[in-house]
């Protein structure tokens, strides 16, 4: 299966020189959209390239003296840099300064519920292997994690409920494999906390203690498959 996203052909870390690299992750909302999400399909390839590249700003007139500032503004940028060079150092305000980017990532089993989110010392990106699963609503699809999470003695597989149309457009090859009966697994990255939805373990919005909207920009900005 070919790569789904527009990934860098060379080392992603090579796009960052000796200047500072600052993470734009927020304790309040994780990541926010940079561009309108409702775009024509023909624009998707160029949009992904734009979202992948960091924002670059000079700190002064002399690049040699002052260096540059690279700003990681999307979950995609963080995931790709982590995959390319886990020891690459970034400035993360919630973590207290300069850290290896790998310290921003944890297994999905370490995720917390909405009510415990603010007690975390720093904002984390959670990752795990997952696969697609159908739901009773044909307008959405479930991205189900393989790892089980124990809640009050009961084991659950966390699942992200997301727009079927959005998933088909962003991850066409995964969806096509799924519809052809192939249970393809992939790596998922998210910043969203857990939400107990009856007998299901789903994901919460940052804004309110409720399931994140499956058709909303908040989910799309805080969900990435690599």
Going by pLDDT thresholds of 50, 70 and 90, the confidence category of residue 44 is very low
C-alpha to C-alpha distance for 142 and 100, rounded to whole angstroms: 32
| 81 located within any domain | yes
18: pLDDT strictly greater than 70: no
Cβ proximity of 37 and 47 under 8 Å: no
Is residue 3 in some structural domain?
no
End-to-end CA gap in the chain: 12
Of 38-47, 50-59, 161-170, which range is least confident? 38-47
pLDDT band at 38 (very low <50, low <70, confident <90, very high): very low
Mean pLDDT check: name the lowest of 39-53, 103-117, 154-168: 39-53
- Is 157 a member of any domain? yes
How many domains, the chain? 1
Whose CA is closest to 101, among 90, 116, 111, 112? 90
Determine, yes or no, domain membership for 187: yes
Q: Give domain status of residue 4, yes or no.
A: no
DSSP structure string for 57-68? EESSS-HHHH-E
Task: Flag whether 6 is in a domain.
Answer: no
Percent of the chain with pLDDT over 70: 77
Domain containing residue 145: 12-225
Tokens of 33: 């959209």
**Model pLDDT for residues 151-168, shown as the tens digit of each residue:** 999 999 999 999 999 999
Taking the complete model, does pTM exceed 0.75, yes or no? yes
Q: Are the C-beta atoms of 30 and 23 separated by less than 8 Å?
A: no
Specify if 26 maps to a domain.
yes
Residue 66 lies in a domain: yes
pLDDT tops 60 at residue 182: yes
pLDDT at 129: 98
């Amino acid at each position: 299966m070919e790569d789904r996203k527009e990934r860098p052909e060379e080392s992603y870390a090579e796009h960052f020189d000796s200047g500072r690299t600052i993470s734009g992750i927020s304790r309040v909302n994780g990541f926010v959209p940079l561009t309108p999400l409702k775009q024509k399909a023909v624009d998707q390839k160029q949009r992904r390239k734009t979202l992948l590249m960091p924002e670059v700003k000079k700190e002064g007139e002399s690049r040699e003296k002052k260096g540059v500032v690279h700003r990681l503004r999307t979950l995609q940028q963080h995931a790709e840099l982590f995959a390319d060079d886990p020891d690459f150092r970034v400035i993360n305000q919630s973590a207290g300064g300069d850290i290896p980017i790998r310290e921003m990532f944890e297994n999905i089993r370490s995720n917390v519920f909405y009510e415990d989110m603010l007690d975390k010392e720093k904002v984390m990106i959670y990752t795990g292997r997952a696969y697609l699963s159908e739901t009773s609503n044909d307008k959405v699809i479930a991205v189900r994690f393989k790892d089980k999470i124990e809640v009050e003695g009961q084991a659950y597989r966390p699942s992200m409920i997301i727009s079927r149309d959005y998933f088909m457009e962003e991850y066409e090859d995964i969806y096509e494999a799924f519809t052809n009966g192939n249970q393809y697994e992939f790596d998922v990255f998210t910043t969203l906390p857990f939400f107990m939805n009856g007998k299901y373990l789903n994901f919460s919005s940052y804004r309110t203690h409720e399931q994140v909207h499956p058709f909303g920009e908040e989910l799309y900005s805080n969900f990435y498959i690599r």
